[in-house]
Amino acid sequence: MTPTALLDADLGDALATGLLGPPPADLAAFEQAFVAHVEASAEDPQQAWDRFYDATLLRVARGWGRQLPGPGTVATFTRIWSRAAALSRGPSALDVGTCFGFFPLAWSSVPGAPRLLAADLSAASAALAARQARRLAAGVNVVCADGTRLPLPDRAVSTVHLLHVLEHVRPSVGDHVLREALRVADRRVVVAVPVEAHPDSVFGHVQVFDLPRMAVLGCRTGWHASLVDADGAWLVLDRP
């Protein structure tokens, strides 16, 4: 893998598989190594992050809606984000647990994109994504917020997205996050999770899912539920 290739989000794959040294033992070590590698790519850390975002978003834009093949992070999540956008309904959408904010930032450049909001529990991640939104003039409103207590009124946005969020929290917390998404969604909630035999601790996973478990989650909500099997398990919930 060339140094240029490591300037995008596939850096995480290289770290996790040991291509850049001993694999991280846990999420904290992974995050520390990730930040160190990104910021080592330029003398100015902000310039390094700008390059990282530009490289990743360029690849996402090229593959948006085209079903890029391959297991890498960028290819996989480009498929996931494209599908999530296609499943969205209404004039506004909220991405809960946005992390770097790649999903709303990439989506904002797609013709016909809705009004986009994003939230993340990490103040550092939310600040980084918000700065990139301003730099790119993306029109994405990013806030630091707990998914169990979103600072929005009932039915405030048309669609709420929970993309690869629930596997990072304990079941009781995940139930609160899902209920809060249902509260602020006017029309639809889109949930996507990986399907794993065991939680991947390097990426901070603490529980596993499959389609039958997603079906149970859907039934408990009282909303109209449908399942999708594509790059993991999906649950699409529509308000009755």
Tokens of 197: 């035999």
What pLDDT sits at residue 1?
Answer: 35
Maximum Cα–Cα distance across the chain: 53
Element (H, E) at 63: helix 45-63
Beta bridge partners of 186: none
Q: CA 90, CA 125: separation in Å to the nearest integer?
A: 27
What pLDDT sits at residue 51?
Answer: 96
What pLDDT sits at residue 33?
Answer: 94
What pLDDT sits at residue 4?
Answer: 40
From residue 174, alpha-carbon distances to 56, 114, 123, 165, 209 in Å are 29, 26, 20, 8, 12
All domains of the chain, ordered by start, with CATH?
70-238 (3.40.50.150)
Tens-digit pLDDT string for the chain (240 aa) = 334 445 899 999 999 999 988 999 999 999 999 999 999 999 999 999 999 999 999 999 999 998 878 889 999 999 999 999 999 999 999 999 999 999 999 999 999 999 999 999 999 999 999 999 999 999 999 999 999 999 999 999 999 999 999 999 999 999 999 999 999 999 999 999 999 999 999 999 999 999 999 999 999 999 999 999 999 999 999 999
What pLDDT sits at residue 71?
Answer: 86
Q: Check: CB of residue 168 under 8 Å from CB of residue 139.
A: no
Cβ burial, residue 236 (10 Å; 0-12/13-18/19+): buried
What pLDDT sits at residue 6?
Answer: 57
Amino acid at residue number 7: L
What pLDDT sits at residue 7?
Answer: 86
Tokens of 237: 């919930």
